Amino acid sequence: YLDSVSARIVDPNNRWTLSNTTIEDGALTFVDNTSAAQFAVHTNTSMMDIGGAYEITLNVNRTSGSFRVLSGTGASTLTPAISINSSGTQTFRVTNDTNGGKLYLYTDTGENFIGTVDNITVREYAIQPQDV
C-alpha cells in the first residue's frame, strides 16, 4: 500500500516506459511528433488503488500543443483525462477507476505537445470532513 509517491526529478532508471519521449537533464521531454502518439508511463503498478483519490502536481515548460494526464492500466482504461496546455506548476485531483492504475503522461498525434515535464508528485488525497 502506497499513500504518497514522489519523483522530484524524472529519471530514466526503469521507473518510466517511454514512447517517442526522452528523459534529459532530469525532465521528461516531448518533441514535435505528428506521426505517432508520445507517452510516458510510470512503471509502479500499485501507484494508485482502485477508487482512490489522488492529487497530482507537475511542472510544465510548454512551447506548444497539449498533453493529457491519465490513470489506468492500458489504453482502453485511461480515465480521467486532464488536459495540460499551459506552462507552470499544475495541480489537480483524479480518482483512479481501475485496479493497479499507473500514471500516464500522453499526447496523441493531433495534440503535438512540445515541452518538458518534471517535479512530478502523486499523493493520496484524503477528503477532510467539514464542520458546518
Question: pLDDT digits over 22-35, tens only?
Answer: 888 888 888 866 67
Place of cell 506548444: 64
d(CA 40, CA 123): 19
Tell me the one-letter amino acid at 65.
Answer: G
- Region at 85 (left for phi over 0; alpha for psi -120 to 50; beta for the rest): alpha
pTM score over 0.85: no
**What's the pLDDT band for 81 if we cut at 50, 70, 90?**
confident
Q: What per-residue confidence (pLDDT) applies to 31?
A: 80
The answer on pLDDT for 87 being more than 80 is: yes
- On whether the CB atoms of residues 53 and 93 are closer than 8 A, the answer is yes
d(CA 70, CA 37): 14
